[in-house]
Amino acid sequence: MEKTVRWGILATGAIAETFARDLLVDPSTRNVKSIVHTIAAAASSSGACRAAEFLKDVGAPPAAKAYGSYEELVADEDIDIVYVATPHSHHYQNTMLCLEAGKNVLCEKAFTVNASQARKLAEKAKEKNLFLMEAIWIRYLPISVYARGVVTSGKLGNVTRVIADNSVNLNPEITWADGKHRMVNPELAGGALLDLGIYSLTWIFQTLYHTQPKPTPPIVTSSLRKYTTGADEMASILLTFPRPEGDAHGIATTAMRVDSDISNTGASGAAVRVQGDNGELQVWPPIWRPTKTKLILKDGTIEDKLWPQPGPGKGSGWFNGFLSNHAEGEGYGMFWEADEAASAIVEGRKEGRYADLSESIAVMDVMDQVRKQNGMRYPEKIETTAYPVHL
């Protein structure tokens, strides 16, 4: 008999809508039989009317409650887990609010503004015996499960280098002209590194770090280019992972003005290359929602694989119509991370399987070092670990 997991949605922006729609896609479409998701409530800091409108738009059950504040949401006893979908700047305060109220949490990427905040949240979750996971959704996509499997299978031999790029070809002066959008606004912890670079780092971490029996954090060298607002618009990072048999290298890049795939047809080739002494695994852009891999081995093997993402169809949500890589079916692909979080709650696990809190902290540590090396600090009120702070 399947168990129902009751979600509370904290914030009603773009990704909250996509995620909420995905929750309502029948889990049997991805062969999940043990759990069902339901939306129990949503909260908007803009008021209960906005929350009610959101619930209607995503097709939530009529009984779902609409709250006009996050405080009311976390006090609701009929919620098993809260999904935090505010800008990065707010993740620490909002997640702490949930944990203090005894709620399990799935919090959007980037997990926090800095590693100190991530550590504090991990400590609080442990103290309260609650589930906490970063919603770094690509870790849970079947393509990522496959990629990690290729590395651990030994097919590539000793994997010594991974190159990953997530660049999006958006001119910030045009796309976010007033500088207030969360992508470029330092008050909201904006910039390429935390928002986009995290995908490049995730591909490197999930292949060079997560796959190791005893992962060691990397040594970091980096360069950042700043935008006029003070947030970064381009980051290039060299990661050296110490290994007894010789260091492994990760090269993570991200940029707003150039593109991983300028023609949007795949003509630029792979945006992730996982390289070992027997061959390499390539992943096509966009690496935040990839649909194609190529395995090339020294013995002459060449294996192309397509990883169609769900949609279009009811509930396909954000970016539908913009991306051309949909297959049949409903949803956007965020349900795989939701399934993992819900299963963990049902099974009594306190962390995600494919990126536990220590790994989220390790990634935040890298981003801290990149910012420090390049003199980029956000306003103190969003860097602080003090709680509560009114933002």
Ligand X SMILES: NC(=O)C1=CN([C@@H]2O[C@H](COP(=O)(O)OP(=O)(O)OC[C@H]3O[C@@H](n4cnc5c(N)ncnc54)[C@H](OP(=O)(O)O)[C@@H]3O)[C@@H](O)[C@H]2O)C=CC1
Ligand Y SMILES: O=C1OC[C@@H](O)[C@H](O)[C@H]1O
Query: Which residues are at the interface with ligand X (CB under 6 A)?
Result: 11-16, 44-46, 50, 85-88, 90, 108-109, 137, 182, 188, 195
| Residue number with CB closer to ligand Y (140 or 288) | 288
| Residue number with CB closer to ligand Y (191 or 250) | 191
Residue 50 binding partner per list ligand X, ligand Y, none, with a CB distance cut-off of 5 to 8 Å that depends on partner kind: ligand X
Q: To the nearest whole angstrom, how small is the minimum distance from the Cβ of residue 195 to ligand X?
A: 5
Residue 118 binding partner per list ligand Y, ligand X, none, with a CB distance cut-off of 5 to 8 Å that depends on partner kind: none
Site for ligand Y in 145-174 (CB under 6 A): 168
Q: To the nearest whole angstrom, how small is the minimum distance from the Cβ of residue 162 to ligand Y?
A: 20
Residue 134 touches ligand Y, criterion: CB under 6 A: no
Q: To the nearest whole angstrom, how small is the minimum distance from the Cβ of residue 45 to ligand X?
A: 3
**Vertex 68 angle, CA 62 and 73, to 5°:** 75
Residue 73 DSSP SS3: helix
Residue 102 DSSP SS3: coil
Residue 168 binding partner per list ligand X, ligand Y, none, with a CB distance cut-off of 5 to 8 Å that depends on partner kind: ligand Y
Q: To the nearest whole angstrom, how small is the minimum distance from the Cβ of residue 46 to ligand X?
A: 4
Side-chain-side CA neighbours of residue 325 (13 Å): 18
Residue 201 touches ligand Y, criterion: CB under 6 A: no
Q: Residue 130 corresponds to which amino acid?
A: L
Contact 99, 125 (CB under 8 A): yes
| Residue number with CB closer to ligand Y (209 or 332) | 332
Residue 288 touches ligand Y, criterion: CB under 6 A: yes
Starting at the edge strand that comes first in sequence, how are the strands of the sheet with 232-241 ordered?
Answer: 219-226, 232-241, 248-255, 159-167, 272-276, 279-283, 292-297, 302-306
Q: To the nearest whole angstrom, how small is the minimum distance from the Cβ of residue 117 to ligand Y?
A: 19
| Residue number with CB closer to ligand Y (195 or 383) | 195
| Residue, CB closest to ligand X | 13
| Residue number with CB closer to ligand Y (288 or 354) | 288
Residue 237 DSSP SS3: strand
DSSP 362-390: HHHHHHHHHHHHTT----HHHH---SS--
Residue 195 touches ligand Y, criterion: CB under 6 A: yes
Residue 103 DSSP SS3: coil
Determine the longest span between alpha carbons in the chain, in angstroms. Answer: 61
Task: Give the whole-angstrom CA distance, residue 328 versus residue 335.
Answer: 15
Q: Residue 190 is encoded by which pair of tokens?
A: 């904006």
| Residue number with CB closer to ligand X (9 or 156) | 9
Residue 234 binding partner per list ligand Y, ligand X, none, with a CB distance cut-off of 5 to 8 Å that depends on partner kind: none
Q: Residue 46 corresponds to which amino acid?
A: S
Task: Give the whole-angstrom CA distance, residue 16 versus residue 296.
Answer: 38
Residues forming contacts to ligand Y in the complex (CB under 6 A) are 168, 195, 288
